[in-house]
Structure 1
Amino acid sequence: MTILLFGVTKDIVGSPTLSIPTSTITGKKVPKTVGELRTYLGKLYPKLNTLSSLAIAVNNAYAEDEKEIHSYDEIALIPPVSGG
């Protein structure tokens, strides 16, 4: 599963994309929902947990934590934005 990163999320991870294995991760459960993915990424990159908000889009639509995800989905982390 490939995740697209933007803004500060790209800075935290150090890359514009992140690949997550879609098979069992050394005995750990593979994220199957947006909420599980959020928790998984928060453990890998604790600085993501410090963001005031972090939206996750699945196939170009904002997704709730209950949304199921699959290896073929396009997933993006949308950090908080400011504007003027």
Structure 2
Amino acid sequence: MKSDENIKYIEQILANDGKLKKDYGEVESYNIVSKGRFSGSPSLPAHNHYKIRIQTKNNSQVIFLNIFKEESGKLIKYEYED
């Protein structure tokens, strides 16, 4: 769950997601608070989930990030919410 590949995806999402920047501001640093793996259900595919504290210039915020990947490890999509 906390592989180098997943860390790379998390860092790319925090640095490049325009909506995240608009919602929270430019992320200066982050800390993974907790992590887990959802093995899937008929309505939701398997994914890794993270609780992440992000630090922006003027604020500290906790977000919940879900990362969906193919079996090969390639990122399919991600979702976040606060």
TM score, norm. by length of structure 1: 0.30
Higher relative contact order (Cα pairs below 8 Å, separated by 6+ residues): 1
TM score, norm. by length of structure 2: 0.31
